[in-house]
């Protein structure tokens, strides 16, 4: 039993009033859910979750994810109550410039927020990734502890809304959560049956509980609505607490379907679409305050007594942390290697010897596919970098994302003839669920300590684009491995051939798009990606690419600068500069042979990552691309968009601005104009 | 009962051998599913579907969608058998340059293919749109006919794979199909439990039947595997036929779970991941042929007798068509207006008086949001253009996508207090399912006759990007209404503010991105979009934008050219050209006032659609942007990517290359530099 006092009840009612006041003050926002979920959120922060407001990064803390990010007040008010640093002034500054209380919760911006949410479905799917990470970290550091007895045991709590449940990515992540038997995950689904178009029944009539049972979840229903009309509305927090506590020791994920009335107990706007996304208005708020025993003339009314009471959670958190410290210290004492590893992971330092572990590849005109080189690099890193793990959305062999010999992350009874592993395994199997994969990777990264990667075909970056964007917004070190990066994939045809993808991914702010030219650039790219610890998309070829001189192309310093001179012109000053990425670097190199033979002094610049190049000093940029050399040709098997910035008015762009076709790669490169001859002709026009 | 003769059995076995041979010849592809699904596909084309190979566009035909597009041979071989124009030579040319048999089926390329599939999940979701369209068309033309008695009754048949079922978009579309009670839709789900990573159990263990029951589907399971090992494999086509026939008269969509062994009866590669996506090899194929009584030395062995037999389906189709014609003629006779409308829709002509119906808006410095203007336009078109219909992914009021007073498309018992309607309604409610919406819109367009649109926030175009791409690949007239098109949306903050979206959507080949500057440009844009009948994304503002002089901004001719001179410089030749789109046109106009006052002759070009502008003659382009005027400034509240092409080396780009923030729009525009002052300064630098 929660055993709430009158002050707790008053605190919950204060949440409702503060939510209404805060939205009213700024004039827009989402009051309804914050009001009706007040008891649930208060219960989580005060009675359920293991957390210590004084140490928001406490390793032993539970994680909280507000998947319905629009109801950010649900979290902000609890952070204020719990003493995470938010104060009443911050609530008054809701949704205003530079406030700590933006429209949707933002990680790294507001203390106590673990994840940036807002795009529906994304929070729940990210939380699944956090639950993955908890299990993997436990397996890395403390695999033999009894259930619940490890300092690395914690639970992931999610509040989700009707909108979250409708989204496709929620399906993907929930199916995987059920499959993975994530007993460390509880989703409280606020079934208020109201969304922006009012009653959700207009578009939503599935049996959600049955659906989640089909995924293999435990499903509990707690119906505060009773017969569905407000007369019998009972906020039974004891039932909710019991379901939460039960879920904490479950062997499967739990969905708690909590049937609520949105904006309860707002006198006339409860249970309406209007209360979801609009200020309630002064009259309605006055009515609400009268109903709850607040002074209708006062706004943001919080007594000192109340704050003193709710902030007792700090002492409870401190005590819990202290208790946890005992077990943690005992673990450190007994696990010197584990403790050293943990310290390194917490500091986000790379392992010693990482650079040496990366393989190098001899020059080879035939070469290998960069996806194959990437697979070799991952295999080589497996031993030195236990925090690195990942997998594929059912394309393991095509994406070369499996570290050879590493076990699968999978309940033991779900091993197959092809894949062995266990719950603490390392190789991830996402099934054909790209968007779910992307957000799970984000969740792993946000959980801290480990570093995830995941693969699919580049063309399907479209399916998971919102995940890449959220990785960028959150500035987290997730690596998306996107293979089959051009028409070079060949016969699968236009639906599978990326054309616009490289450019369109480059358009995402704060996201690095890397397209290595050969095996050694691939190896150097992996190293740079890990050093940078930023969101990155690694675009890799299906087809073999010649391995360039490793003394140039293999240098990490070159690759990590984003662009470098791969081949210098025969004379000191080039007549023309060819700029190419990935598989087209080989084309440019062949064109340079022809041009030099025709006495055109030709420099070839390999540009594996434009974002990295743009971060270099102006002097380095000038060294690679001197302003005085205006004859320039870019070559990339993608849309021309963005290349004019580099080649200038006088330059030429070799690109493709239409969809591909089904044929072998050699035919496509020839028919679509990615040949040395075309580059030579363009170079001559540019000169 | 199917009543198959020995020749039918032989035909089915011939499918398996042809599939193996065709993949072996080209050296890559997907033989396994085409082999094991041979009986199901043959049954559909020979016994189940209403189709007439002599008239692939027959209005009364059933639709077939191969959602597992990688198994394109499943469809190609039936098209060959049924006499749609494919011949043995085409099968031999599988996956080669310019063949009629590309890697994945492509609509408008191979006769008999209704939809381009390949990206998993997309086919099934598109088929749901086709089922929507069938109901709407029947409602438009023949609402009172008894069930099954209308010439506009047809059924949509889908073959889907494990991968389709895992994808999030399938969840979204399937939930909507159940909600909409689409009795005209049958999905045969080939549950072979094999994907590229071999046994799907590694990532997929949900109870699919239970999940679909939760969506409100009828679920039938037909288990050819028996106890799951090959010894008892029985291809019971009678059971499959019975389930298909039952589904045809159902009042809900039907999922037939067909349990198969992939690559059956390949001697050693059946039931393996290798048989999914690789050529089987000569030895295996020889074994297969021996097993089935084919000559192992012959490839592509098809007897004349067999072809004669299977092509009898043409006569059956012709007879069915003739029978249908009777009802159709009777309908035409009884429904002169309906027949006239149908003829117009079949010809894809726009209604007379369309242009006149489009509203115009007086000049107004305060103006209206372009989303609001768009809503007014849609309302005005409702009466004259019954084929236009659409809705929103739960943002009806925000997207202004509801044609006022039009009924919702919804089973009658699911009307809500906010929305009335019926099964033949017009306003679509997609719930919070953006990707599902996108593909359903595609399916509606592919079904022919009607024209769909659908709305969400521009930032969530990320969720549905693959649908926009498929609309572009298929060259279909779908309009995506994307509102809240910049940081101008304000307080919802960075997760909701598009930054890179306009550029990244422009990167999609064959896709028009339109961003009108005011109410009259919005009206003209709608007209041009409907005239063009191409895939289009309409990006609209949340905030009010000044209504420019309607004599200029309101001219359809101007807008449909993609860019035009909105304000001419005071002198004949401009000193500088400001190029702006959408909400930034007003900023440019204000800057022009200041520049002109400072004696800088300033032309303002409004550029609502770059793709349309690029399709104009060089002379028109030169007229708008004379090469001689090199001082140019672009202004758009999005990433700079792509603007260098238009402003050149000497130009300036006013853009935003980082994420937004939560604050009011005016603050964001000021803080992020979208002000007349910044434009003036940039113009002076450029001059």
Which residues on neighbouring strands pair with residue A159, listed in sequence order? A66, A188
Q: Does residue A11 belong to any structural domain of this protein?
A: yes
Task: Write phi, then psi, for B153 (nearest 5 degrees).
Answer: -85, 120
A426, A465 Cβ separation under 8 angstroms = no
B334 prior amide bond cis, ω within 30: no
For the cut 80, the answer to whether the pLDDT of residue B302 exceeds it is yes
A555 CB burial (10 A radius; 0-12, 13-18, 19+): middle
User: In angstroms, what is the C-alpha Rg of chain B?
Assistant: 28
Domain-located, residue A577: yes
Enter the ipTM. Answer: 0.98
pLDDT in tens, A190-218: 999 999 999 999 999 999 999 999 999 99
Residues A19-36 have a mean pLDDT of 97
Q: For residue A651, which residues of chain B lie inside 8 Å, CB to CB?
A: none
Q: Which of B266, B299, B318 lies at the terminal end of a domain, its last residue?
A: B318
B426-443 per-position pLDDT tens digit = 999 999 999 999 999 999
pLDDT at A230: 61
A137/A133 Cα distance (integer angstroms): 6
**pLDDT over 80 (residue A513):** yes
Closest CA to B167 of B129, B206, B224: B206
Q: Record the tokens describing residue B573, joined without a space.
A: 């030749």
* Contact between B203 and A179 using a beta-carbon 8 Å cutoff: yes
- Tell me whether B61 touches chain A (CB under 8 Å): no
pLDDT in tens, A239-253: 999 999 999 999 999
- Asked if B493 and A104 come within 8 Å (Cβ–Cβ), the reply is yes
B29 in contact with A at a CB cutoff of 8 Å?
Answer: yes
Range of the domain at B455: 354-553
Beta bridge pairs of residue A633: A578, A652
**How far is B213 from chain A, CA to nearest CA, in Å?**
8
User: Does the bond joining B265 to the residue before it have cis omega, within 30 degrees of 0?
Assistant: yes
**Token duo for residue A548:** 């360039």
User: Which one, of A219, A193, A490, A512, lies nearest residue B95 by Cα?
Assistant: A490
Assigned domain for B337 exists? no
Apex A329 CA angle, A327 and A334, nearest 5: 95
Same domain for B64 and B181, yes or no, is: yes
Q: Is the pLDDT of residue A151 over 90?
A: yes
Residue B349 located in a structural domain = no
Tokens of A303: 């007594």
Closest CA to A642 of B646, B515, B673, B538: B646
Q: Are residues A545 and A580 in the same domain?
A: no
Residues B661-684 pLDDT 10s: 999 999 999 999 999 999 999 999
- Quick check: is A580 in a domain? yes
* B222 min Cα distance to partner chain A (Å): 19
Residue B72 included in any domain: yes
Claim to verify: residue B575 and residue B537 sit in the same structural domain: no
Q: Is A222 a residue whose pLDDT tops 80?
A: yes
Interchain CB contact of A458 with B (< 8 Å): no
**Based on the domain organization, do B299 and B364 belong to the same domain?**
no
Question: What's residue B232's pLDDT?
Answer: 85
Return residues 478-507 of B near A (CB < 8 Å).
Answer: 490-496, 499-500, 503-504, 506-507
The pLDDT of residue B229 is 63
The pLDDT of residue B228 is above 80: no
In this prediction, residue A232 has a pLDDT band, given cuts at 50, 70 and 90, of confident
What was the pLDDT predicted at B372? 98
Pairing verdict, β A564-567 and A602-606:
antiparallel
| pLDDT value for A229 | 62
From A167, A284, A387, A434, the catalytic residue: A434
Contact (CB<8Å) A168/B168: yes
Between chains, do A495 and B176 touch, taking CB under 8 Å as contact? no
- Do residues A413 and A433 touch, judged by C-beta distance below 8 A? no
Residue A475 touches partner B, C-beta closer than 8 Å: no
- Give me the residues paired with residue A514 across strands: A538
β-pair partners for A161: A190
Q: Residue A670: closest CA among chain B residues belongs to which residue?
A: B97
Q: Pairing relation of β-strands B254-259 and A408-409?
A: unpaired
Report the residue of B454, B497, B507 to disrupt the A interface, i.e. the one with the largest count of A CBs within 10 Å: B507
Q: Do A416 and B198 touch (CB under 8 A)?
A: yes
Interface of A with B in 76-95 (CB under 8 A): 95
pLDDT at residue B116 above 80? Answer: yes
C-alpha to C-alpha distance for B85 and B99, rounded to whole angstroms: 13
Query: For an interface test with B, which of A26, A121, A132, A394 has the most B Cβ atoms less than 10 Å from its Cβ?
Result: A394
Terminal Cα-to-Cα distance of chain A (whole angstroms): 81
CATH number at residue B122: 3.40.50.970
Which tens digit of pLDDT belongs to each residue from B150-190?
Answer: 999 999 999 999 999 999 999 999 999 999 999 999 999 99
pLDDT confidence band for B572 (50 / 70 / 90): confident
* Token representation of residue A405: 């010999």
Cα A552 to Cα B647: distance, rounded to the nearest angstrom: 36
The number of folded domains in chain B is: 3
Taking CB atoms and an 8 Å cutoff, what residues of chain B touch A490?
Answer: 28
Supply the pLDDT for residue B436. 98
Single residue among B292, B318, B344 that ends a domain in this structure: B318
Alpha-carbon gap: A425 to the closest alpha carbon of chain B (Å): 13
**Which of B235, B220, B241, B228 lies closest to B35, judged by CA?**
B235
* pLDDT at residue number B201: 96
Contacts of A520 (CB under 8 A, 6+ apart): A360, A361, A373, A547, A548, A550, A553, A554
Q: What is the DSSP letter of B647?
A: H
Segments in A88-167 forming alpha helices (H): 88-92, 122-141, 162-166
pLDDT at B621: 98
Domain co-membership, A246 together with A371: no
Average pLDDT, chain B: 97
Same structural domain, A178 and A244? yes
Residue B104 contacts A, CB cutoff 8 Å: yes
In tens, the pLDDT along B32-75 reads 999 999 999 999 999 999 999 999 999 999 999 999 999 999 99
Q: Is the pLDDT of residue A598 over 90?
A: yes
Residues of chain B in contact with residue A204, where contact means CB-CB under 8 angstroms, are 175, 179, 431
Same structural domain, A566 and A666 = yes
CA dist., res. A529 & res. A377, Å (int): 13
* Any B CB within 8 A of A411 CB: no
Pick A492's closest partner by Cβ from B103, B465, B509.
B103
Contacts with A201 from chain B: Cβ below 8 Å: 414, 416
Give whole-number Cα distances, A584 to A375, A403, A457, A579, B458, in Å: 21, 28, 19, 9, 33
Q: For residue A323, give how far its alpha carbon lies from the nearest alpha carbon of chain B (Å).
A: 38
Residue A633: which of A667, A594, A597 has the closest Cα?
A: A594
Calpha distance B605→B602 (Å, rounded): 10
State pLDDT tens for residues B439-493.
999 999 999 999 999 999 999 999 999 999 999 999 999 999 999 999 999 999 9
To the query of whether residue B404 is one of the catalytic residues in this protein, the response is no
Instruction: Answer yes or no: is pLDDT of B634 > 90.
Output: yes
| Cβ-based neighbour number of residue B323 at 10 Å | 12
Shortest distance between the Cα of B50 and any Cα of chain A, in A, equals 28
B-facing residues of A in 175-194 (CB < 8 A) are 175-176, 178-179
**Residues B571, B543 share a domain:** no
Residues in chain B: 687
Report the pLDDT value the prediction gives residue B571, as an integer from 0 to 100: 86
Binned at pLDDT 50, 70 and 90, residue A571 comes out as confident
Asked if residue B595 and residue B544 are part of one domain, the reply reads no
d(CA B90, CA B109): 13
Residue B229 contacts A, CB cutoff 8 Å: no
| Per-residue pLDDT tens over the stretch A620-649 | 999 999 999 999 999 999 999 999 999 999
Chain A: closest CA distance from residue B674 (Å): 16
pLDDT in tens, B234-285: 999 999 999 999 999 999 999 999 999 999 999 999 999 889 999 999 999 9
* Amino acid A228: pLDDT: 60
Which entry of B114, B167, B387, B434 is annotated as an active-site residue?
A: B434
Domain boundary among B553, B574, B595: B553
Residue numbers in B near A102 (CB within 8 A): 493-494, 661-662
Report the residue from A397, A473, A495 with minimal CB separation from B196: A397
CATH number of the domain to which B573 belongs: 3.40.50.920
Task: Based on the fold, state whether residues A539 and A594 are members of the same structural domain.
Answer: no
For residue A326, being part of any structural domain is answered with no
Of B127, B203, B128, nearest in space to B163 by CA: B203
Residue A453 lies in a domain: yes
Instruction: Return the residue of A nearest to B179 by Cα.
Output: A205
Alpha-carbon span A198 to A193, nearest angstrom: 8
Q: Which of chain A's residues have a Cβ under 8 Å away from the Cβ of B26?
A: 491
Please report how many Cα atoms fall inside a 13 Å half-sphere around the Cα of residue B178, on the Cβ side: 22
Same domain, B401 and B491: yes
pLDDT tier for residue A53 given thresholds of 50, 70 and 90: very high
Cβ proximity of A224 and A234 under 8 Å: yes
**Beta-carbon separation of A169 and B169 below 8 A:** no
pLDDT at B230: 61
- Same-domain status, B295 and B370: no
**Chain A contact for B260 (CB, 8 A cutoff):** no
């Amino acid at each position: 039993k929660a055993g709430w006092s009158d002050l707790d009840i008053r605190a919950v009612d204060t949440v409702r009033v503060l939510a209404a006041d805060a939205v009213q003050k700024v004039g827009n926002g989402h009051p309804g859910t914050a009001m009706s979920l007040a008891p649930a959120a208060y219960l989580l922060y005060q009675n359920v979750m293991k957390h210590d407001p004084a140490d928001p990064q406490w390793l032993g803390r539970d994680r909280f994810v507000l998947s319905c990010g629009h109801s950010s007040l649900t979290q902000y008010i609890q952070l204020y109550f719990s003493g995470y640093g938010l104060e009443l002034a911050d609530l008054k500054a809701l949704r205003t410039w530079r406030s700590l209380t933006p429209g949707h919760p933002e990680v790294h911006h507001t203390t106590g927020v673990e994840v940036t949410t807002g795009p529906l479905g994304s929070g729940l799917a990210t939380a699944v990734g956090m639950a993955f990470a908890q299990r993997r970290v436990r397996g890395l550091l403390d695999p033999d502890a009894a259930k619940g007895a490890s300092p690395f045991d914690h639970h992931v709590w999610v509040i989700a809304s009707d909108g979250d449940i409708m989204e496709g990515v929620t399906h993907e992540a929930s199916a995987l959560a059920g499959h993975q038997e994530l007993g460390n995950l509880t989703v409280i689904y606020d079934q208020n049956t109201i969304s922006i178009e009012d009653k959700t029944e207009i578009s939503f009539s599935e049996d959600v509980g049955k659906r989640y049972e089909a995924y293999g979840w435990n499903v509990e229903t707690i119906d505060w609505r009773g017969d569905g009309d407000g007369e019998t509305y009972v906020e039974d927090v004891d039932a909710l607490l019991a379901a939460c506590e039960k879920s904490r020791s479950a062997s499967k994920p739990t969905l708690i379907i909590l049937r609520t009335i949105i904006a309860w107990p707002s006198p006339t706007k409860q249970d309406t679409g209007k209360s979801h996304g609009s200020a309630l208005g002064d009259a309605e708020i006055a009515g609400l305050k009268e109903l709850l025993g607040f002074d209708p003339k006062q706004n943001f009314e919080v007594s000192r007594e109340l704050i003193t009471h709710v902030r007792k959670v700090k002492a409870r958190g401190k005590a819990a942390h202290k208790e946890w410290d005992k077990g943690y210290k005992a673990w450190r004492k007994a696990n010197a290697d584990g403790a050293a590893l943990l310290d390194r992971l917490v500091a986000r330092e790379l392992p010693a010897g990482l650079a040496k572990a990366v393989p190098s590849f001899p020059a080879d005109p035939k070469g290998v596919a960069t996806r194959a080189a990437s697979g070799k690099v991952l295999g080589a890193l497996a031993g030195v970098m236990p925090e690195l793990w990942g997998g594929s959305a059912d394309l393991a062999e095509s994406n070369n994302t499996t570290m050879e010999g590493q076990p699968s992350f999978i309940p033991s009874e779900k091993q197959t003839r092809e894949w062995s592993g266990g719950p603490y395994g390392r190789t991830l199997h996402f099934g054909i669920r790209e968007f779910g994969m992307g957000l799970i990777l984000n969740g792993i990264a946000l959980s801290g300590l480990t570093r995830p990667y995941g693969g699919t075909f580049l063309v399907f970056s479209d399916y998971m684009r919102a995940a890449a964007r959220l990785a960028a917004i959150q500035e987290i070190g997730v690596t998306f491995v996107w293979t089959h990066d051009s028409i070079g994939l060949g016969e699968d045809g236009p639906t599978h051939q990326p054309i616009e993808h490289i450019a369109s991914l480059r358009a995402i702010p704060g996201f690095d798009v890397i397209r290595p030219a050969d095996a050694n650039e691939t190896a150097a790219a992996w190293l740079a990606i890990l050093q940078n610890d930023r969101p990155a998309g690694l675009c890799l070829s299906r087809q073999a690419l010649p391995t360039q001189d490793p003394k140039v192309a293999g240098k990490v310093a070159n690759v990590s600068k984003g662009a470098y001179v791969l081949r210098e012109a025969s004379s000191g000053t080039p007549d023309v500069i060819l700029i190419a990425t990935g598989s087209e670097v080989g084309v440019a190199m062949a064109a340079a042979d022809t041009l030099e033979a025709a006495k055109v002094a030709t420099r070839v610049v390999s540009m594996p990552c434009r974002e990295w190049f743009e971060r270099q000093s102006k002097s380095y940029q000038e060294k690679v691309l001197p302003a005085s050399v205006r004859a320039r040709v870019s070559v990339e098997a993608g849309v021309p968009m963005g290349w004019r910035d580099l080649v200038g008015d006088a330059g030429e762009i070799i690109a493709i601005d239409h969809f591909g076709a089904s044929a072998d790669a050699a035919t496509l490169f020839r028919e679509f104009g990615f040949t040395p001859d075309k580059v030579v002709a363009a170079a001559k026009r540019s000169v």
